[in-house]
Structure 1
Amino acid sequence: MKKSIAAVFSLTLLAAASVIAGPKAVKVDPPYAAPAIEGTDQTGKVVKFADLYKDNKFVLVYFYPKADTPGCTKQGCSLRDGNAELAKKGVKIVGVSADTVEAQKAFAEKYTFPFQLIADKDGKVIDAFKVAKRPNGMASREAFLVKDGKVVWHDPAAATEKQAEDALKAVEEAK
């Protein structure tokens, strides 16, 4: 009887921990076609995602709620600081939020982000990737790794300070 109660208690704790921790990043199996959508970056340039997939070994598309807020800044700075290492592995980084072109430009300049930020005010890119939206319409914090035009990794609760580290691990697993 004691073993049964202990086993049930352990399983209950494990289940509670997974709910508290939230969904985990996972290798996508089988990979599925990444959205071939267009968006506008912080310079006003139209970005064709299909071209990004074709021209790069990997594309990390990360979504964040709002430019120049604490968590989003930590996430972007993590990727900025890890950009050189990610680039060595063939990764192109693209950030997406429902901000305006002007807000994305100011955010990129303030923190010297070496990657494109997509201004997705109408939510087309957010919807194409099926990113959950917060009640205020902002994107949730998620990340997708695309290889050969297919999503091979998805992080439904992307980290802030560890985004680059998590992406590097995903790239290693996706080789």
Structure 2
Amino acid sequence: MKTRLFLLITMSMLSALFGTANAGEGEKVSYPAPVVSGINQDGATVNFADVYKKGPTVVFFYPKADTPGCTKQACSLRDAFADLSKEGVQVLGVSFDKAESQKAFKDKFTLPYDLIADPEGKIVEAFKVKKMLKGLLSLASRSCFLIKDGKVVWQDYSAATDQQAADIKRVLAEVK
């Protein structure tokens, strides 16, 4: 009985702190997109504002390159990249990984978009993505944002893994 009560109280507290949105549900919002820059997998600087100017932009955050959930999320967007590109969508993936790890991840799974190394967490902080600790490592919580005309129009702080592209396609149809 005490265990059940403890679980109910804990779940209530977590729901109050973090909300009850399901993965992929996200929420429509409207605020200026963070203007940041970072280093991609090849060591080149990527200015996010320049990417936003090219069209709708998906910025997704993942905990660690080449781990099961992160691979599903990245490959979901890879598999839908042709369809997303037809809609003019840009894609950027971000994690605390260094550029070398991002390059290995991109090459291993033939990801057609830039992966941004954010070892200091400045991009994670700009997007207000929650950080997790695993041992001594800081990891970004799985999150996804859709930017349109320089504004974040949708955010999902409990982003899906293998359904990430489907979520983006659904939201794109809704915000046209």
Cα drift, residue 96 of structure 1: 0.2
> What secondary structure sits across from 1:121 in the alignment?
coil
Q: What residue ranges of structure 1 are gaps of 5+ in the alignment?
A: 1-11
Q: Determine if contact 2:63/2:141 at 8 Å carries over to the other structure.
A: yes
Normalised by the length of structure 1, the TM-score is: 0.85
2:65 maps to 1:67: yes
Q: Determine if contact 1:62/1:96 at 8 Å carries over to the other structure.
A: yes
Cα drift, residue 76 of structure 1: 0.4
2:162 maps to 1:164: no
Aligned ranges 1:37-48 → 2 under 5 Å: 37-48=36-47
Q: Determine if contact 1:146/1:153 at 8 Å carries over to the other structure.
A: yes
Cα drift, residue 19 of structure 1: 4.1
Q: Determine if contact 2:24/2:163 at 8 Å carries over to the other structure.
A: no
What RMSD, in angstroms, separates the aligned Cα atoms of the two structures?
A: 1.8
Residues 19-42 of structure 1 show CA distances to partners (whole Å, capped at 9, x for unaligned) of 4947941111xx100001010000
Distance 2:171 2:21 in 1: 23
Equivalent residue for 1:139?
A: 140
2:78 to 69, 73, 80: 80
Q: Determine if contact 1:95/1:118 at 8 Å carries over to the other structure.
A: yes
Cα drift, residue 135 of structure 1: 2.3
Runs of 4+ in 1 over 2 A off after TM superposition: 18-24
Q: What residue ranges of structure 2 are gaps of 5+ in the alignment?
A: 1-11
Equivalent residue for 2:127?
A: 129
Distance 1:107 1:147 in 2: 27
Structure 2: which amino acid aligns with 1:116?
D
Q: Identity of aligned pairs, percent?
A: 52
Distance 1:90 1:148 in 2: 12
Normalised by the length of structure 2, the TM-score is: 0.85
How many residue pairs match? The answer is: 157
Distance 2:23 2:107 in 1: 32
Cα drift, residue 119 of structure 1: 0.4
